[in-house]
């Protein structure tokens, strides 16, 4: 391999902008996502819709690649896991049985002056962070410990007292004039059929999680697939939550996608399977080459209504350590309740022990959009390439090659002398195997930078030497190193990197 002979600094004033600092990196990522066709605000021409986003031409490719990577590692690499694709609408009783009608609430508090509504845990966590940043870590820890204890008991009066005692302020009005703490259900509902206004009978929900589509199909899949416990059912699909505090870009959306897997097991084995899936899921993240020191587990203190153990896999986003995936030991809560509400047995006959039982379940649930944000945050890099003669910088998305929206770009050095034809030939040979991009406009350096900005791992340049010896220049995204390789080695090189 040889270093680029011509400094890429001969390229662009376009990329010369102030480097993002730690504090504005998140904002820089959001702008980059918009500028390069990854993510747009929904219905932007009407000023957008809060916490709803559209994936653009690059974003939809990246998202699909993440989906495929998850789907294949769940279904293709595990003999005992199969996938389904259930409908978003489900019989309304599903959500009574699952507990979502009664329990899918968040404690909220409103500031009377600004009318701004806060999730109580977010208000308190924000306050604790400020206190910590001001140097009083002990007080921050004490406040968080009190909050956890009060949340665990659903002690709303106590939470209000904690907020009052610490004189927590609204970020908008700056006052401490709070309402009582109240519960707020996060499910969206709509009506089925042509007649509106028929009340509860017509009401259907937009599913707040994909898991229930799996539970109600447990026996269908088990019987038709002749599945034996332990086995899993995986699903990728949209979920909807009327999130109150829906900021932070695609981290918390009202319409998002989940990749969930429910693993059905013999009762009594949940502890070992819970540990197994914790380890397996972290391994999956690290298999993408993501840095281990940016991951940590967070065990739940207050367990959801269905769980006997639960933890989050957290990642260090530019906005701090945040949940990307949940691992939940759901017991037999869901199947038992579906049996009770539907009056249909949800049992499995275990031939090994000659017993009928309702299986226990370990769930792994990852947000596709959050995983997208994780990949984007980790990949986004600003590099200072200045030389004494010339200031220069580049923005490069260092995606794992297998997730990159475009794997390879092909550039004829000039638009004439037969070079475009050779470049097109390379495209035609490779585009059935992976996503390629062809471009002949602008100087090569400029074309490289455009590919850096969307994370394309390989750029192939066809020049006059190609006509003599059938070799091309490969320029590697992260190192910017260039080397000459034969045309017939291109496909193998890229396939090797994305395998």
Nearer to ligand ATP, 325 or 452 (CB): 325
Torsion of CA 480, 482, 487, 488, to 10 degrees: -80
Using CB under 6 A, pick the residue from 94, 111, 212, 258 that binds ligand ATP.
258
- Which residue has the closest beta carbon to ligand ATP? 367
Nearer to ligand ATP, 270 or 473 (CB): 270
Using CB under 6 A, pick the residue from 237, 326, 412, 457 that binds ligand ATP.
326
Residues within window 391-450 making contact with ligand ATP, judged by CB under 6 A = none
Q: Name the DSSP class of 111.
A: B
Nearer to ligand ATP, 258 or 337 (CB): 258
Using CB under 6 A, pick the residue from 370, 394, 407, 447 that binds ligand ATP.
370
Q: How crowded is residue 396: how many other Cβ atoms within 10 Å of its Cβ?
A: 22
Min dist CB 409 to ligand ATP, Å, is 32
Q: Does 107 bind ligand ATP (CB under 6 A)?
A: no
Using CB under 6 A, pick the residue from 256, 284, 360, 399 that binds ligand ATP.
256
Using CB under 6 A, pick the residue from 63, 160, 252, 475 that binds ligand ATP.
252
Q: Name the DSSP class of 103.
A: H
Residues within window 155-214 making contact with ligand ATP, judged by CB under 6 A = 209
Scored b (16 or more CB within 10 A) or e, 263-274 reads bbbbeeebeebb
Residue pair 484/468 in contact by the 8 Å Cβ criterion: no
Residue pair 281/364 in contact by the 8 Å Cβ criterion: yes
Using CB under 6 A, pick the residue from 11, 109, 204, 366 that binds ligand ATP.
366
Q: How far is CA 100 from CA 8, 189, 297, 449, 462, in A?
A: 56, 12, 26, 48, 59
In whole angstroms, what is the distance from residue 64 CA to residue 182 CA? 39
Binding to ligand ATP by CB under 6 A, coded x per residue (else -) over 295-324, reads ----------------------------xx
In whole angstroms, what is the distance from residue 420 CA to residue 462 CA? 8
Count of residues in contact with ligand ATP, rule CB under 6 A: 16
Min dist CB 374 to ligand ATP, Å, is 9
In whole angstroms, what is the distance from residue 186 CA to residue 178 CA? 21
- With CB under 6 A as the contact rule, which of the stretches 42-50, 128-136, 330-338, 362-370 interacts with ligand ATP? 362-370
Distance of CA 80 to the CA centre of its chain: 25
Nearer to ligand ATP, 236 or 494 (CB): 236
Min dist CB 325 to ligand ATP, Å, is 5
Min dist CB 460 to ligand ATP, Å, is 37
In whole angstroms, what is the distance from residue 183 CA to residue 102 CA? 10
Using CB under 6 A, pick the residue from 125, 243, 316, 478 that binds ligand ATP.
243
Nearer to ligand ATP, 275 or 314 (CB): 314
In degrees, rounded to 5, the angle at the alpha carbon of residue 36 between the alpha carbons of residues 449 and 67 is 110
Nearer to ligand ATP, 243 or 382 (CB): 243
Region of 94 on the Ramachandran plot (φ > 0 left; ψ -120 to 50 alpha; else beta): alpha
- With CB under 6 A as the contact rule, which of the stretches 71-79, 266-274, 329-337, 367-375 interacts with ligand ATP? 367-375
Using DSSP's 3-state secondary structure scheme, residue 319 falls into coil
Using CB under 6 A, pick the residue from 367, 405, 412, 455 that binds ligand ATP.
367
> DSSP alpha helices (H): ranges in 313-362?
333-342
Q: Does 369 bind ligand ATP (CB under 6 A)?
A: yes
In whole angstroms, what is the distance from residue 92 CA to residue 86 CA? 15
Residue pair 97/340 in contact by the 8 Å Cβ criterion: yes
Report the run of H or E that residue 39 belongs to, with start and end: strand 39-41
Q: How many CA atoms lie within 13 A of 245 on its CB side?
A: 16
- With CB under 6 A as the contact rule, which of the stretches 143-151, 252-260, 383-391, 401-409 interacts with ligand ATP? 252-260
Nearer to ligand ATP, 257 or 392 (CB): 257
Q: Is the peptide bond before 230 cis (omega within 30 degrees of 0)?
A: yes
Using CB under 6 A, pick the residue from 65, 222, 346, 365 that binds ligand ATP.
365
Min dist CB 106 to ligand ATP, Å, is 8
Q: Does 330 bind ligand ATP (CB under 6 A)?
A: no
Min dist CB 304 to ligand ATP, Å, is 8
Report the run of H or E that residue 313 belongs to, with start and end: strand 309-317
Min dist CB 115 to ligand ATP, Å, is 22
Min dist CB 253 to ligand ATP, Å, is 4
> 161 pairs with which residues across the strands?
none
Residues ≥6 apart with Cβ < 8 Å to 59: 33, 37, 38, 39, 372, 405
Q: Does 325 bind ligand ATP (CB under 6 A)?
A: yes
- Tokens encoding 320: 């701090």
- With CB under 6 A as the contact rule, which of the stretches 10-18, 249-257, 339-347, 476-484 interacts with ligand ATP? 249-257
Q: Which residues bind ligand ATP (CB under 6 A)?
A: 209, 241, 243, 252-253, 256, 258, 323-326, 365-367, 369-370
């Amino acid at each position: 391999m040889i270093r680029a002979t011509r400094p890429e600094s001969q390229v662009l004033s376009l990329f010369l902008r102030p480097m993002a600092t730690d504090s504005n990196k998140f904002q820089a990522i959001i702008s980059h996502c918009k500028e390069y066709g990854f993510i747009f605000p929904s219905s932007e021409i009407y000023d957008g819709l809060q916490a709803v986003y559209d994936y653009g031409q690059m974003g939809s490719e990246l998202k699909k690649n993440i989906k495929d990577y998850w789907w294949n590692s769940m279904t293709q690499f595990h003999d005992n896991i199969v996938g389904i694709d259930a409908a978003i609408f489900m019989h309304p009783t599903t959500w009574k049985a699952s507990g979502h009608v009664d329990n899918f609430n968040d404690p909220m508090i409103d500031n009377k002056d600004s009318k701004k509504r806060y999730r109580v845990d977010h208000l308190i966590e924000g306050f604790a962070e400020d206190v910590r940043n001001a140097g009083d870590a002990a007080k921050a820890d004490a406040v968080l410990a009190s909050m956890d204890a009060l949340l665990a008991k659903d002690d709303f009066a106590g939470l209000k007292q904690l907020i009052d005692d610490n004189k927590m302020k609204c970020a908008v009005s700056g006052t401490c004039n709070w309402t009582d703490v109240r519960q707020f259900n996060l499910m969206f509902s709509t009506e089925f059929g042509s007649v509106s206004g028929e009340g509860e009978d017509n009401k259907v929900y937009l599913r707040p999680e994909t898991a229930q589509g799996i539970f109600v199909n447990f026996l269908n899949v088990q019987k038709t697939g002749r599945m034996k416990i332990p086995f899993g059912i995986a699903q990728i699909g949209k979920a909807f939550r009327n999130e109150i505090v829906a900021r932070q870009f695609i981290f918390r959306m009202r319409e998002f996608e989940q990749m969930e897997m429910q693993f059905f097991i013999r009762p009594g084995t949940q502890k070992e399977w819970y540990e197994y899936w914790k380890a397996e899921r972290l391994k999956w993240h690290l298999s993408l080459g993501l840095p281990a020191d940016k991951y940590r587990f967070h065990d739940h203190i207050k367990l959801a209504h269905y769980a006997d153990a639960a933890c989050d896999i957290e990642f260090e986003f530019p906005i701090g350590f945040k949940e990307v995936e949940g691992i939940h030991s759901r017991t037999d809560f869901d199947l038992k309740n579906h049996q009770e509400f539907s009056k249909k047995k949800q049992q499995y006959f275990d031939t090994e022990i000659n017993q009928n039982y309702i299986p226990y379940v370990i769930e792994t649930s990852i947000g596709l959009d959050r995983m997208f944000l994780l990949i984007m945050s980790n990949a986004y890099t600003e590099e200072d390439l200045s030389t004494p003669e010339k200031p220069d910088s580049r923005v490069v998305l260092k995606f794992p090659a297998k997730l990159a929206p475009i794997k390879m770009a092909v550039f004829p050095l000039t638009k004439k002398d037969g070079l475009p034809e050779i470049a097109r030939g390379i495209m035609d040979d490779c585009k059935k195997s992976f996503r390629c991009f062809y471009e002949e406009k602008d100087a090569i350096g400029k074309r490289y930078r455009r590919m850096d900005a969307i994370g394309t791992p390989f750029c192939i340049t066809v020049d006059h030497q190609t006509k003599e010896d059938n070799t091309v220049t490969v320029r590697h995204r992260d190192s910017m190193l260039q080397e000459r390789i034969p045309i017939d080695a291109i496909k193998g090189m890229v396939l090797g990197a994305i395998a």
